[in-house]
């Protein structure tokens, strides 16, 4: 009798656990369908980890190149040495293509821009909770194209998720004086833009033309600006004509 009661008790516990598991799984499915932010966050965390591992491995190989070139009299250039070493370590060609090696041996990750423009952003809906994610130079060029066509991004949020290498190709200013300005919120997340090339003759010359927007945490590592007017690498500070209030610092 006690054995049967014990078996019933165990069966009841198993049933309760099974029901709990089903509820958890159902909740996960509903969550993934109704709100994909947890999935996006997991993907973003994985991307950050992979990029950090890639950059660390590239830095080690870059440091080894000098010693190896002295001891083995290698004729390989540092960048070639680093990229071949990364392939040997199991990184994909797509990953290795983003590795850039400076003359001083330091490394950074950024795919060199080929001048093409994306048709959308990687993800996000432009809200403060889920900003538009810019993950490539092509998507950054898409932002420029959008603003220059009249999309102001007012009350919209954007963030940069990686360093960008604009490859010294001429980049269009994000805005078109005196008609179109960027009026959203752009967070660079302390990422860097390399090899920016701006060739402008507009009254206000800068990467961003801003009237009612904010640009923060963005670093321009190297740039070349050709302009007949005073220029700034990052942002042109305009004045609201009605009350002359300065909108950016």
| Burial call 224-234: b when 16+ CB within 10 Å, e when fewer | ebebeeebbbb
Neighbours of 130 (CB within 10 A): 15
Average of pLDDT values for 202-212? 74
H/E stretch holding 134:
strand 132-134
Q: Which domain holds residue 61?
A: 47-105
Domain-located, residue 41: no
Distance, in Å, from the CA atom of 238 to the CA atom of 248, rounded to the nearest integer, reads 7
230 and 182 in a common domain: yes
7 and 52 in a common domain: no
Distance, in Å, from the CA atom of 26 to the CA atom of 240, rounded to the nearest integer, reads 53
pLDDT computed for residue 223 by the predictor? 78
pLDDT digits 0-9 by tens, 73-88: 667 888 888 889 999 9
Q: Could you tell me the pLDDT band of residue 7, with boundaries at 50, 70 and 90?
A: very low
Q: By the 8 A CB rule, do 209 and 177 touch? A: yes
H/E stretch holding 26:
helix 2-34
Domain-located, residue 149: yes
64 and 23 in a common domain: no
pLDDT at 24 over 80: no
Distance, in Å, from the CA atom of 98 to the CA atom of 107, rounded to the nearest integer, reads 10
Q: By the 8 A CB rule, do 182 and 174 touch? A: yes
Total structural domains within the chain? 3
Domain-located, residue 205: yes
178 and 84 in a common domain: no
Distance, in Å, from the CA atom of 112 to the CA atom of 169, rounded to the nearest integer, reads 10
Distance, in Å, from the CA atom of 166 to the CA atom of 177, rounded to the nearest integer, reads 23
Q: Could you tell me the pLDDT band of residue 230, with boundaries at 50, 70 and 90?
A: low
159 and 211 in a common domain: yes
208 and 139 in a common domain: yes
29 and 51 in a common domain: no
30 and 59 in a common domain: no
């Amino acid at each position: 009798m006690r054995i049967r009661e014990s078996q019933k008790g165990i069966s009841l516990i198993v049933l309760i656990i099974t029901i709990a598991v089903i509820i958890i799984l159902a909740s996960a499915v509903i969550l993934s369908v109704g709100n994909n932010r947890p999935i996006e966050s997991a993907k973003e965390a994985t991307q950050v980890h992979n990029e950090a591992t890639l950059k660390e491995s590239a830095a080690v190989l870059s440091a080894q190149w000098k010693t190896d070139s002295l001891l083995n009299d290698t004729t390989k250039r540092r960048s070639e040495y680093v990229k071949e070493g990364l392939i040997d370590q199991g990184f994909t060609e797509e990953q290795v293509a983003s590795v850039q090696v400076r003359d001083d041996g330091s490394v950074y990750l950024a795919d060199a821009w080929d001048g093409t423009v994306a048709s959308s952003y990687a993800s996000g809906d432009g809200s403060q909770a889920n900003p538009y994610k810019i993950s490539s130079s092509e998507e950054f060029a898409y932002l420029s194209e959008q603003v220059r066509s009249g999309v102001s991004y007012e009350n919209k949020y954007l963030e940069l998720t990686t360093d960008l290498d604009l490859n010294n190709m001429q980049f269009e200013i994000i805005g078109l004086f005196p008609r179109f300005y960027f009026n959203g919120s752009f967070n660079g997340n302390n990422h860097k833009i390399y090899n920016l090339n701006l060739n402008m003759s507009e009254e206000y010359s800068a990467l961003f033309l801003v009237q009612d927007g904010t640009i923060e945490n963005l670093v321009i590592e190297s740039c070349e600006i050709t302009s007949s007017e005073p220029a700034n690498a990052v942002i042109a500070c305009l004045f609201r004509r009605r009350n002359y209030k300065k909108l950016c610092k």
